[in-house]
Structure 1
Amino acid sequence: MEKDGFFHSFERARSYLVCRLIHTRERAFLREVPYRTAFADLDMVPCFFERKEGRRAGGYPITSQWMTRWEIDEERLFEEAFSNMQKLFPPRLYRLDSLMESPMSGSVRSILLHLLQDRFPDTGEEVLDQVARVLARRLGKKMQDGSGLQPMWVLGNESWLFGAASLLYPGVVDSFARKVGGDFYILPSSIHEVILLPEGGRETRNQLYEMVAYANYRMGDKEKFLSGSVYYYDSKKMKIQTL
Structure 2
Amino acid sequence: MYDFEEFKNVMEQMVKEKFSEGYQVERHKVIKNNQLELDSLVILAEDTNVSPQFYMQQLYPRYEQGETMEQLVADIVSTYHETAKNNRFDSENLTLEACREQIIYRVVSLEKNEEQLAEVPYIPFMDLAITFHCLMVQDEHGIASFRISLDLMQKWGLDHQMLFTIAQNNTMKRFPISICRMETMLYEFFQQTDHESSLDDIMQTGDENIWGNRAFWAKSREGDPYVLTNSSKINGAAVVLYPQCLQHIGENIGGNYYLLPSSIHEMIIMPENATMSRKELCEMVTEVNAQYVEQDEVLSDAVYYYSCVNKTLQICNG
Q: 1:181 to 1:7 in 2, by over 3 A?
A: farther
The alpha-carbon distance between structure 1 residues 8 and 57, as it changes in their structure 2 partners (threshold 3 A), is same
Report the equivalent of 1:98: 184
User: What secondary structure does 2:279 align onto?
Assistant: helix
Quote the residue 1:239 is aligned against: 312
Choose which of 132, 152, 156 in structure 2 pairs with 1:70: 156
- The answer to whether structure 1 residue 211 and structure 2 residue 297 are counterparts is no
Q: Aligned partners of 2:142, 2:121: CA distance in 1, in Å? A: 25
> Which structure ranks higher in relative contact order (CA pairs < 8 Å, sequence separation ≥ 6)?
1
- For residue 29 of structure 1, the aligned residue among 97, 116, 119 is 116
Q: 1:200 aligns with which of 256, 273, 277?
A: 273
**Aligned partners of 2:253 and 2:138: how far apart in 1?**
38
Kept in 2: contact 1:8–1:70 (CA 8 A): no
More helix by share: 1
Which residue number corresponds to residue 260 of structure 2?
187
Gaps of 5+ in 1: 110-131, 138-148
Rg (Cα) greater in structure: 2
Equivalence for 1:8: 94
Q: How many residues align?
A: 203
Relative to the length of structure 2, the TM-score reads: 0.58
Cα gap change, 1:100 to 1:55, in 2 (>3 Å): same
Write the distance in 1 (CA, Å) between the matches of 2:108 and 2:293.
18
- Which deviates the most, 157-166 or 200-209? 200-209
- In structure 1, give the amino acid aligned to 2:308: S
Alpha-carbon RMSD across the aligned residues, in angstroms, is 2.5
SS at match of 1:36: strand
- Three-state SS of the structure 1 residue aligned to 2:229 is strand
Matched AA of 1:185: Y
CA contact (8 A) 2:106 2:235 kept: yes
Aligned to 1:170: 243
5+ residue gaps, structure 2, are 1-47, 51-88, 197-221
Aligned partner of residue 173 in structure 1, secondary structure = helix
**Aligned residue for 1:87?**
173
Deviation at 1:154, TM superposition (A): 0.5
Which residue identity lines up with residue 5 of structure 1 in the other structure?
A: S
Match in the other structure for 1:120: none
- Write the letter of the residue equivalent to 1:171: Q
Deviation (angstroms), 1:232 = 0.6
Please give the TM-score of this superposition, normalised by the length of structure 1: 0.74
Classify 1:70/1:154 alpha carbon distance in 2 versus 1 (closer, same or farther; 3 Å): same
Describe the SS at the equivalent of 1:160.
coil
User: In the superposition, relative to structure 1, how do residues 81 and 221 fare at CA in structure 2: closer, same or farther (>3 Å)?
Assistant: same
Percent identical: 29
What CA deviation, in whole Å up to 9, does each residue of 1:168-226 have, x standing for no partner?
Answer: 11111111111111000000011111000001163212210222123212445322111
Task: Quote the Cα distance in structure 2 between the aligned partners of 1:198 and 1:174.
Answer: 13
Instruction: State the distance in 2 between where 1:7 and 1:208 align.
Output: 47
Which has the higher mean CA deviation after the structures are superposed, 191-200 or 76-85? 76-85
